[in-house]
Amino acid sequence: MRKDFLPFSPPFLGEEEIAEVVDSLRSGWITTGPKTKRFEQEFAAFVDAPGALALSSCTAALHTALVVAGIGPGDEVITTPMTFTATVAVIEHVGARPVLVDIEPDTMNIDPKLVAAAVTDRTRAVIAVHYGGHPCDMDALQAICDQHDLLLVEDAAHAIPARYKGRMIGSGSNPVAYSFYATKNLTTAEGGMLTGDPAMIEKAAIYSLHGMNRDAWKRNDKTGSWRYDIVTPGAKYNMTDIQASMGLQQLKKMDGILARRREIVEMYRTALAPLEQFDLPVEREDCQSAWHLFPLRLREGALQVSRDEFIEAMRERNIGTSVHFIPVHTFTYYREKYGFVDEDYPIAFRESERLVSLPLHPGLSDQDVADVIEGVKDIG
């Protein structure tokens, strides 16, 4: 039994991030400025993206992508129920209708065959969510979007640095949204990034800062001007230099962060694969997962405890866990508005009922991992 509580996913920060933030505080420039621009450039280079815009959240990135694409009332956007609510909420925010389709049972990513079947003459876009950091079947999804002239948006909240067939997620010209929330592989406390075609990024930059027609942060620079125009009723989605300071240092550590995550995954796999009570997460041969999550699935009837009892038993052993996700179609708002029932998405509902995410972050020691494994085995 552990003496101290093991958090599920605390931020992985060092003295480098602290020093960079302090430098920003002392510089007198704490909101959007030169470090934010540098972070955009370095992030784009890291994922091989044609352009990047730092924003306040992944939600802001997804919403902005839909807005600048002109998606709105009367349109439909296809996505997955196996995601955080923000993915579907942004469709509602632009006045479009979310069309949910079920998932593939191995990766728990959106099923391209069901996407193809769901396309109508009102469909304008598909939002693909890289669940847990494992890439979706992008070739299949892109083929569907090309056939029907649809926008393919990627929710890559979990997917830095993931690769699909050798290509980094985010390297295409389509909109890709990242999250830098405190629990993510790269964190700026709160924050996000939108990557894609430079022309799209330019429009997104205008929308994301009140609809101003120029770089508003330069207004207070020596070379700036107080004059500006509003060309669209935009939002307030900009990232600050304080956040970007953390991101710049986190970005330098990404290779090491992924390597440590993979080491932990292998320890989990080696220890838990022989147990018949559990199904382990997969990694397809043509993909490199970012391993944001290690979603353990409890086999029905193979354990003497329920999923909730399993989570509580781990907590009693001072080990934090989580569940990713409660499917969107089970929430009151979407049930009441669209009449969704559990049986509409049987795979997503079935898998969600047996999911438990184990601790997975680079700050875990080998002993921490051993404690998690011991707890899982003991309860199982």
The reply to whether 220 and 259 lie within a common domain is no
Number of domains into which the chain is organized: 2
The reply to whether 286 and 191 lie within a common domain is no
Of the three residues 203, 222, 252, the one that is the final residue of a domain is 252
The reply to whether 74 and 34 lie within a common domain is yes
The type of residue at 285 is E
Domain that holds residue 321: 254-379
Q: What are phi and psi of 361, to 5 degrees?
A: -160, 155
Tokens of 367: 């002993």
The reply to whether 216 and 98 lie within a common domain is yes
Q: Please tell me the predicted confidence (pLDDT) of residue 220.
A: 64
Q: What is the DSSP string of 138-188?
A: HHHHHHHHHHHT-EEEEE-TT-TT-EETTEETT-SSS-EEEE--TTSSS--
Of the three residues 211, 229, 252, the one that is the final residue of a domain is 252
Does residue 133 form part of some domain? Answer: yes
- Peptide bond preceding 98: is omega within 30 degrees of 0, i.e. cis? no
The reply to whether 264 and 246 lie within a common domain is no
Q: Please tell me the predicted confidence (pLDDT) of residue 213.
A: 81
The reply to whether 294 and 236 lie within a common domain is no
Does residue 7 form part of some domain? Answer: no
The Cα 266–Cα 262 span in angstroms is 6
Q: Please tell me the predicted confidence (pLDDT) of residue 219.
A: 64
Catalytic residue among 3, 165, 184, 377: 184
**pTM of the predicted structure, to 2 decimals:** 0.97
Does residue 8 form part of some domain? Answer: no
pLDDT along the chain (380 residues), means of 10: 95 98 96 96 98 98 98 98 98 98 98 99 99 98 98 99 98 98 98 98 96 71 77 97 98 98 98 98 98 97 96 98 98 98 97 98 98 97
Does residue 266 form part of some domain? Answer: yes
Does residue 10 form part of some domain? Answer: no
Instruction: Give yes or no: 35 in active site.
Output: no
The reply to whether 248 and 334 lie within a common domain is no
Does residue 195 form part of some domain? Answer: yes
Tokens 């306040």 belong to 56
The reply to whether 241 and 334 lie within a common domain is no
Of the three residues 207, 228, 252, the one that is the final residue of a domain is 252
- Edge to edge, the sheet with strand 167-168 lists 167-168, 163-164, 287-288
The reply to whether 105 and 219 lie within a common domain is yes
The reply to whether 163 and 66 lie within a common domain is yes
Does residue 4 form part of some domain? Answer: no
Angle at 282 between CA 325 and CA 300, to 5 degrees: 60
The reply to whether 209 and 90 lie within a common domain is yes
Q: Please tell me the predicted confidence (pLDDT) of residue 215.
A: 66
Does residue 240 form part of some domain? Answer: yes
CATH number of 96's domain: 3.40.640.10
The reply to whether 274 and 212 lie within a common domain is no
Q: Please tell me the predicted confidence (pLDDT) of residue 214.
A: 66
